[in-house]
Structure 1
Amino acid sequence: MHSGTFAILLSFALLVTACGQSTPPVSNGAQSTNGSVAQTDDLPSRAKLPEQRGDYRTKIIRMTEVTDEAPDDPSGSPFRLVRYDSEVGKLAAYITRDPGDGEKHPAVIWAKGGFGGIGNWLWERMPKENDQSAMAFIDSGLVVMCPSWRAENDNPGKFEMFYGEVDDLMAALKYLKALPWVDANRIYLAGHSTGGTMALLGACATDDFRAVFSFGGCPDLKLVVGDGEGWGNTPFSYRNEDEVRLRSPLTFVGAITTPTFYFEGEESPYIADSQLMEQQAKKVDAPFHAYEIKGGTHFNILHDLMRMVAKKITLDTGETCNIEFSSSEVALEFEE
């Protein structure tokens, strides 16, 4: 695992203790548990993320070096290395090979955790207590794309932390939709940790995904960066409310029209904000559902629940998405 990825994921444990620190409320509106603002109005806006961001341009005040390591060579793995076009240039991604059967197949974009780019852990067999690989989807016969974002690996661009990277995600989706062996109507988005945040932002940005699955994404970035420390790599001013708000999925929850499912272990500081996000979603009938996994952590929920999700995807063959979860079903899957 690249050093940048490891450092970010390791720092999650420190966030658990930091989340109890108070931060001052900044205005009225839907308040998250950490004092930031989810919406300025009582009802969440239904406008998509790009429309709500409008002409706002993020101001990068700190040049953060994510990693300059080229992606690991995927030879001998289920993947091949490709470069997809983005507004900042060509970005690296792993994608599984053409099955060669002339059929169109469902596909998953797996947004990895951390900010260190892509690497060999995405296809290696990982321990059950922390399985961040994409093998659950590959083993189920799905087409899988694992993109990196701007400034990661040997990619061009500047690190923006959940801003321009959303544009990169949309570019990866465009690339995947154009592949002749991919069913463009059955493309799913899933991600863990920072990738889970990207998954939530993707659900808010477009309705082109058939369903979205976030494992431990951060609903409100104020919880992370509000103390001025964050993960140690915040490239924008954490005191600027717009910079934080426009990176927070909680801001855009009303824009969700694609079935979107959030899973996180009960020990996570993100649980309260995920529940608030679900409450906000209900106000406008946005299909967002949050599940707190009893006995689960930010990491040990992945192995079992990703396989549950992969199975649901393979069975989702109707005209529209029919994926559903019950709390008891999720709990039972994790216990097993």
Structure 2
Amino acid sequence: MTDDQNAFFRQRRSVLAGIAGSLLLPGMARAFDVPAKPKLISHDYAKVRSHFRTKLLQKGPAPDKYEILVAPADGDQIFYRSGAGSELELRAWVSKYTRTRQPKPAVLFLHGGNAMGMGHWVLMKPYMDAGFVVMMPSLRGENGQMGNFSGFYDEVDDVLSAADRMAHLPGVDQNRLFIAGHSIGGTLTMLAAMSTHKFRAAAPISGNPDAFRFFNRYPQDIRFDDSNEREFEVRTALCYAESFKCPVRVVHGTEEEHFNDRADLLARRARRANIRIETDTVAGNHTSALPAEIAQSIHFFQGVAA
């Protein structure tokens, strides 16, 4: 395992798991209730996003420590614009590729954690080897960039803006745009796949479809008004499971049993709306299962596009 991969596997989330556990001892007061089953909302998520504005009680950068963004050896650093009036100029990495007569499929991969690093990028080689152009965007407030961290909401706008930028890369096939992501990126993958028809398929990896549960575990990441239940609902894929706009493959590690019931509920709700959705587990934990999960996402994308 390389030093970069070791750095990736030392993600902030695994460190904070123990801290969060100490914050949530039985009998401690909660700022919000975690429903046994988040309600299903029949409204289209994309339309909900066009009207709802999150109320941030704290404004500032993303919480994770970060490295300065420098283009990887096998990639280029580009910029894309996001936010109201496109006021945010954000960075992304794009794999180096040669334009061919046949346009290439592309994958927008959303990194784990709240900062982008080289350890995330080294995991992208299987996509490149399979013939995909890869774009990995950093999001608002990450890595010293512009914008306020909101936790799973305004960041979706950045993902959609990054998808627009990817679609206009030279030699990219706009009919074969895919999205995948790990951990926090997996959650954003679900929400983005509910927000646009641009993606041919989506592969969220170890993403949490239940923001109530996520922020119960990581309350220090809450920047929004947690007295408003709707703030959690618009961050919860389970609430809008009928809104997926492309085929989806949801996967997590066998040692992540806490995802089992939520993944099953997400799939049941989506299937009732005639959405093509697959769920699976891969041997391993939140990080060790990732290489095999990426390989399976490639197989899924190739099958959808066949």
TM-score scaled by structure 2?
0.85
Cα distance in 2 for residues equivalent to 1:113 and 1:25:
25
Once residues 24 and 158 of structure 1 are traced to their aligned partners in structure 2, the CA distance between those partners, rounded to angstroms, is: 22
Query: Is the partner of 1:11 in helix, strand or coil?
Result: helix
The partner residue of 2:165 within 156, 164, 175 is 175
Cα displacement string for residues 96-149 of structure 1 (whole angstroms, at most 9, x for unaligned residues): 124133431000000000001x2211333xxxxxxxx22221222210000011
Aligned partner of 2:228 in structure 1 is 240
Q: Is the 8 A contact 1:209 1:258 kept in 2?
A: yes
Question: Secondary structure, in 3 states, of the residue corresponding to 2:220?
Answer: coil
1:201 aligns with 2:228: no
In the alignment, what sits opposite 2:119? 121
Counterpart of 1:73, as a letter, is V
Change (3 A) 1:197 1:20: farther
- Distance in 1, Cα, partners of 2:133 & 2:80: 16
Q: Which deviations, in whole Å up to 9, do the C-alpha atoms of 1:268-295 show, x marking residues without a partner?
A: 22221111111111222122222234x4
Letter in 1 for 2:49: R
Over the matched positions of the two proteins, sequence identity in percent amounts to 24
SS across alignment from 1:134: helix
Matched with 2:292 is 304
CA RMSD of aligned residues (A): 2.9
1:73 is matched with which residue? 70
Is contact 2:104–2:173 with CA below 8 Å preserved after alignment?
yes
Shift of 1:298: 1.7
SS of aligned partner of 1:115: coil
Name the stretch that deviates more: 13-22 or 208-217: 13-22
2:270 paired residue number: 281
User: Over residues 146-181 of structure 1, what are the superposed CA-to-partner deviations in whole Å (9 max), with x where a residue is unaligned?
Assistant: 001111113211111111111111101111111221
Cα deviation, residue 48, structure 1: 3.3
Aligned-partner residue type, residue 203 of structure 1: A
* Structure-2 change in CA distance of 1:20 and 1:173 (3 Å): farther
Alpha-carbon shift at residue 7 of structure 1 (Å)? 1.9
Task: Output the CA distance in 2 between the equivalents of 1:144 and 1:212.
Answer: 14
2:215 matched residue in structure 1:
225
Q: Does the 8 A contact of 2:201 with 2:248 survive in 1? A: yes
Offset at residue 187 of structure 1 (A): 0.6
In 2, are the aligned partners of 1:250 and 1:277 still within 8 Å (CA)?
Answer: yes
**Matched residue type, 1:260:** V
Match of 2:201 in 1: 211
Indicate if the aligned counterparts of 2:249 and 2:297 stay in contact, CA closer than 8 A: no
Change (3 A) 1:25 1:194: closer
Select 2:13's aligned residue among 8, 12, 17: 8
Native 8 Å contact 1:48 1:206 kept in 2: no
Structure 2 unpaired stretches of 5+:
none
* Counterpart Cα distance in 2 of 1:61 and 1:172: 26
Cα deviation for residue 13 of structure 1 reads: 5.8
1:18–1:134 Cα change, 3 Å: farther
Residue 112 of structure 1 contacts residue 194 of structure 1 at CA under 8 Å; is this kept in 2? yes
TM-aligned CA deviation for residue 317 of structure 1: 4.3
Q: Which moved further from structure 2: 135-144 or 309-318? A: 309-318
TM-score where L is the length of structure 1: 0.78
Q: Is 1:56 the equivalent of 2:57?
A: no
Stretch moving more, 309-318 or 17-26: 17-26
SS in 1 for 2:232: helix
For 1:162 and 1:140, the matched residues in 2 are separated by: 30
Q: 5+ unaligned residues in a row in structure 1: which ranges?
A: 27-31, 125-132, 319-336
Q: Quick one: distance in 1 between partners of 2:249 and 2:126?
A: 17
Return the offset for 1:56.
2.0
Bigger helix fraction: 2
SS of corresponding position for 2:194: helix
Cα distance change of structure 1 residues 192 and 284 upon mapping to structure 2, 3 Å threshold:
same
The separation in 2 between residues aligned to 1:315 and 1:290, in whole angstroms, is 15
Q: Which amino acid aligns with 2:252?
A: E
SS of equivalent to 2:39: coil
The alignment covers a number of residue pairs equal to: 293
CA distance in structure 2 between the aligned counterparts of 1:54 and 1:181, rounded to whole angstroms:
31
